[in-house]
Structure 1
Amino acid sequence: MALFYRSAALLLKPYRASQLLPSAARLYSSGAQNNYIIVEKRGEKSDVGFIQLNRPKALNALCDGLMTEMGNALDAFEADKDIGAIVITGSDRAFAAGADIKEMQNRTFQECYSGNFLAHWNRVSTVRKPVIAAVNGFALGGGCELAMMCDIIYAGEKAQFGQPEILLGTIPGAGGTQRLTRAVSKSLAMEMVLTGDRISAQEAKQSGLVSKVYPVDQLVSEAIRCGEKIAANSKLVAAMAKESVNAAYELTLAEGNRFEKRLFHATFATDDRKEGMTAFVEKRKANFEDK
């Protein structure tokens, strides 16, 4: 969760939020003014929730206020029946360069333990709708952990991933040692956590951390396109599919197969399963109604 060295910020050009906001984008209101994120609906059918981290001077450092706003935005998208998938991104220069060290510098063990520090960050991983991380630039510490909380990671070709907490005398605290190990193997995870070294987008793809790499200027649009593909399916069944895939990290193969079978059987109680199979037999496009 380490914020990338301040000197690096001096080498980076200031980021303008308008670079990622097409004029046709419709502003999404979650009932409150956001100070650290931009929230919209995207896609031709406005069925993709869009959250853009917007702390350019701090390279999108993850402060408590930002994570609270993100949780509120996720809650709003979760409740919105029109939204079928969610995209989280940052700027071209930084997805998120880490947690805000100034907020953590003087915290005590007692404060962290009694207040369950960082617990609310897990909201990203508990959203039932599919979440896609579109990572350009630095995804370090908490930024890397945030990306790994998402279901799919797309990376810009200049993205960098790392867990440099060891350089600040601490360790990852928002799932870095756990999710990274499951994603890239023990050896690479150990190397990254114990040295603080970063890996490139290409290395991240080779190791299985990200699924696709795109040019920087195409990344967000490709992530939204993926979100539109997901949103075109039954939202109810998509949530079931996501739950089944996530169960693979917690269960043995035999237990996981039983869990999958139960959810598979459950789809036969839905109208969407019947519509999907009927449409296939009749050689037409399915009209899912999410029920």
Structure 2
Amino acid sequence: MSLLRLFSRPALSVSSRATMSAPRSALQVVRHQSTESSYTNILVSNPRPGVGLITLNRPKALNALSSELFVELNKALKDYEDDKEIGAIVLTGSDKAFAAGADIKEMAPLTFSEAYVNNFIAPWSYITTLRKPVIAAVSGHALGGGCELAMMCDILYCTKTANFGQPEIKLGTIPGAGGSQRLTAALGKSKAMELILTGNNLSGEEAEKHGLAAKAFEGGNKEVLEGALDTAAKIASYSRVAVIAAKEVVNKSQDLGVREGVEYERRIFHSLFGSQDQKIGMKAFAEKKKPTWSHL
């Protein structure tokens, strides 16, 4: 049986869901600079200076992705995007699952008209619009929508035993949140076609080998999360202006040919000479000092 069928609770309808609720337990960590509100399907915290951490938190459903979850996730992402103290974001799940797929109980009864008119799952791609870098820390299952969500992040770290795949074919459908496009971009047409048409999976070790993951770690979620937080903290220590620009030009390489991409990169490079941080960084380098960024 596909892991996409292992979800144990249905998502709430749009009309009945409450995106914010009172804290349910002491385990729900709320950002110290935010209000006293908390989430039902995610946890948020600031484990390192300049780093925001979002943990998917539907353990009984292997972090199955629902509309309710994405309302909360997108709000947390926007809060971190707007927070001037945050320079990078980490998204993770649990040892068992980053996210084992979309919530089938929510999707199964939909009609074409409902899905089309309401633009179903389009909000799942909000994470790709962020200007700040997002690092996925994946352990366990990242299947279907879980694989797609991990691939939407800017850097993907995983455990060697992580389990990636797009098994939608087993349910009589296809990937709908960018899986066919991003998997092909990462793995090439032949390998992506094999995985999507067969519903076969890819281990974390194979994901690193084929270029889907930047790094595969020994151990479980603790180890991969530490690696992701270290990288996020390093990124957050640099000029926000330069980091945003660097992310922009790398992403642009996916849309442009090499010649056009190099020209675009050069224009962004030239524009950074108008930033305060370019002056601060080069002056500090010449004086062999550590720069103190203005983020302007």
Q: Same fold (TM over 0.5)?
A: yes
What are the equivalent positions in structure 2 for 1:88-107 lying under 5 Å apart?
88-107=91-110
Q: Does 1:6 align with 2:6?
A: yes
- The letter of the residue matching 1:249 is Q
Question: Does the 8 A contact of 1:133 with 1:147 survive in 2?
Answer: yes
Whole-Å Cα distance in 2 between the matches of residues 179 and 30 of structure 1? 36
Q: SS at 1:268's partner residue?
A: helix
Deviations along 1:89-148, one digit per CA (max 9) or x if unpaired, are 000110000000000001000111111111101111111000000000000000000000
Equivalent position to 1:276, from 281, 288, 296: 281
Preserved contact between residue 88 and residue 132 of structure 2 (Cα < 8 Å): yes
Amino acid at match of 1:90: G
Query: Following the alignment from structure 1 to structure 2, what is the Cα–Cα distance between the partners of residues 203 and 30?
Result: 42
Call closer, same or farther: CA 1:58–1:211 in 2, change over 3 Å: same
The question of 1:257 aligning with 2:262 is answered yes
Return the alpha-carbon distance in structure 2 between the equivalents of residues 219 and 58 of structure 1: 22
**CA distance, structure 1, for counterparts of residue 140 and residue 98 of structure 2:** 6
Aligned residues, how many?
Answer: 276
Aligned equivalent of 2:80: 77
Residue number among 175, 185, 189 corresponding to 2:188 in the alignment: 185
- 1:220-249: CA deviations, max 9, x gaps? 111111000000000111011101000000
- Tell me by how many angstroms 1:3 deviates: 5.1
Q: State the AA in 1 paired with 2:61.
A: A
**What does residue 171 of structure 2 align with?**
168
1:15 match: none
Q: Which amino acid aligns with 1:52?
A: T
Alpha-carbon contact 1:166-1:196 (below 8 Å) kept = yes
Question: Aligned pair in 2 of structure 1 residues 75, 30: CA closer, same or farther (>3 Å)?
Answer: farther
Deviation at 1:32, TM superposition (A): 3.5
1:31 CA displacement: 6.2
1:157 shift after superposition:
2.1
Q: Distance in 2 between matches of 1:101 and 1:3?
A: 11
Alpha-carbon distance, 1:30 to partner: 6.0
Aligned counterpart for 1:56 among listed residues 59, 72, 76: 59
SS of match in other structure, 2:295: coil
1:283 Cα deviation (Å)?
0.8
Partners of 2:147 and 2:7 in 1: CA distance: 20
* RMSD of aligned alpha carbons: 2.0
Between the aligned partners of 2:96 and 2:85, the Cα distance in structure 1 is 31
**Residues in 2 aligned to 1:197 and 1:27: alpha-carbon distance in whole angstroms:** 42
- Which runs of no fewer than 5 residues in structure 2 stay unpaired? 9-24
Contact kept, 8 Å, 1:94 with 1:138, in 2: the verdict is yes
Partner of 2:204: 201
Q: Corresponding residue for 2:228? A: 223
In the TM superposition, what is the alpha-carbon distance from 1:4 to its structure 2 partner?
2.8
The amino acid that maps onto 2:86 is I
**Cα distance, 1:26 vs. partner?**
5.8
User: Do the aligned residues in 2 keep the contact of 1:3 with 1:100 (CA within 8 Å)?
Assistant: no
User: Which runs of 4 or more aligned residues in structure 1 lie more than 3 Å from their structure 2 counterparts after TM superposition?
Assistant: 25-32
Aligned partners of 2:66, 2:7: CA distance in 1, in Å?
19
The residue aligned with 2:246 is 241
The TM-score with structure 2 as length reference comes to 0.89
Displacement after TM superposition at 1:162 (Å): 0.2
User: CA–CA distance in 2 between the matches of 1:7 and 1:168?
Assistant: 14
2:252 counterpart letter in structure 1? A
Query: Cα distance, 1:42 vs. partner?
Result: 1.7
